[in-house]
Amino acid sequence: TPLFVIENLRAGIEGKEILRGVNLVIERGEIHALMGPNGSGKSTLAYVIAGHPNYEVYEGRILYKGENVLELPPDERARMGMFLAFQYPTAIPGVTMANFLRLAVNSVRKARLGEDKALSPREFRRLLREKLEMLRMDESFASRYLNEGFSGGEKKRAEILQMAMLEPEFAVLDETDSGLDIDALRTVSEGVNRLFNPNMALLVITHYQRILNYIRPHYVHVMLDGKIAVSGGPELAEELEEKGYDWVKEQFAEAA
Ligand code: ADP
Ligand code: MG
Ligand code: MG
């Protein structure tokens, strides 16, 4: 079975249908990019995958390792090895990144490996140091209070550090490039590339092609009006960068 499958997903918010029949199959070892104009439903898809309580699912399934995760709460999805950036709190007063990460890592480890597999404080610090080094991040970063006074770039780096620590098998990154200057974009992307491995898969959501120069996708999908209108290889992203989204809209209108 594929690692991650979306079948005829229809979902929305407050009775308003936004996703109108999404289908997607992602195998281990693959990086997929989801592109599309503003308002096409990309973030809605990310929220529904994450299990955000504001969103309603009208039809369809999301299978992770063959199990329909739409029936599971967000924390259960995380414990199964899915990484969804938004399920993390935006700011918790008085909690450092290291403390937060220790709780998150141990919760996932206990669920995936067994109750006795929580890391001791010393083991945790070693793992944290290893990941910080891999991501070329300063050790002081982990002592910062969670998201307190974080710049856009720091929030994105914190997200990548969380991802590195949790060692997920499937991760969704929504607009990881937004608000990053070119140096921060390169640092964050290199971090993602370093932690990617053939046992996992990645869904990178982006309006602009720019981040895909650094994180090279195997497949590119274009979402239009709540549906995946076109899928292709990496060259599709370049074509979109050159020609914009209008030609997809025209072709899709003809086909519909
Ligand atoms: P994208 O990420 O592709 O820009 P979104 O998923 O954010 O698209 O938005 C898709 C559509 O859903 C848009 O028409 C948007 O206005 C609508 N939408 C998104 N969030 C909400 C919300 N909280 N309440 C009502 N409509 C929403
Ligand atoms: Mg948007
Ligand atoms: Mg969005």
- Quick one: which of 251, 240, 252, 243 has its CA closest to 232? 240
3-57 residue pLDDT tens = 999 999 999 999 999 999 999 999 999 999 999 999 999 999 999 999 999 999 9
- Quick one: which of 57, 89, 81 has its CA closest to 70? 57
**Residues framing ligand 1 (Cβ under 6 A):** 13, 16, 18, 36, 38-44
Question: Is the whole-model pTM more than 0.95?
Answer: no
DSSP bridge partners of 171:
83, 202
| R_g (Cα) of the chain, nearest Å | 18
| Residue whose entry in the numeric block shows the structure tokens 């063959």 | 66
Domain that holds residue 115: 4-255
Question: Does the structure's ipTM exceed the value 0.90?
Answer: yes
DSSP state of 208: S
CATH number, domain with residue 196: 3.40.50.300
| Burial state string for 190-212 with b = 16 or more CB within 10 A and e = fewer than 16 | ebbeebbeeebbbbbbbbebebb
Sheet holding 16-26, edge to edge: 16-26, 4-13, 55-64, 67-68
Question: What's the number of domains the chain is made of?
Answer: 1
The Å distance, Cα 54 to ligand 1 centre, comes to: 12
151-207 residue pLDDT tens = 878 888 888 999 999 999 999 998 876 778 888 888 889 989 999 999 999 999 998
Ligand closest to the CA atom of residue 223: 1
